[in-house]
Structure 1
Amino acid sequence: MREITIDTLVRLLRESAGEDESVQLDGDILDTTFEALGYDSLALFNTVSAIEREYALEISEEEVGGAKTPADLLKTVNQALAGTS
């Protein structure tokens, strides 16, 4: 089964949305909100677009809108990869 990992998500966040020097994406960030990490809705949109391209997925705006943390987004993406979204 294909699955996206936190390491892949961090890479895509950095590539797609940029990374401010003050933003820390290291350590246990799974349950930290994207807002607290310094990523706004546009940054999240860019990251999800990159995930969709890289994994040939389509994820609805409603599903993405419910993702407030990296853990939420990983769950949404991995469900889509498994075909259970």
Structure 2
Amino acid sequence: MKNPAEYLENHVFEARRPRKELQPVVAYTDAVQAIEQALADAEKYKYLLMRALRRHADDMRPAQPVPAPVGTTPVLPLYPAFEEREQVA
């Protein structure tokens, strides 16, 4: 990830204020462009970080066994057996 100064390094020029030494200056449009680029990079890194955190959480979660059914509810077939359908038809 870039540090903040790297987004502006190509856009900085030096200007002299009256009776003062040279000072670094950035044009407004260049500053806005650098901020937009930094925000886009931050969004990309945020996505990558969240994806890595989800993967890590999935890896750390212990495998949970399927709980045994409670009670003695009979399991009935949803459709009649093949032989029964032939007899009905």
Regarding TM over 0.5, the answer is no
Normalising by structure 2, what TM-score? 0.32
Please say which structure displays the higher CA radius of gyration: 2
Higher helix fraction (1 or 2) = 1
Q: Considering Cα pairs closer than 8 Å and 6+ residues apart, tell me whether 1 or 2 has the greater RCO.
A: 1
Higher strand fraction (1 or 2) = 2
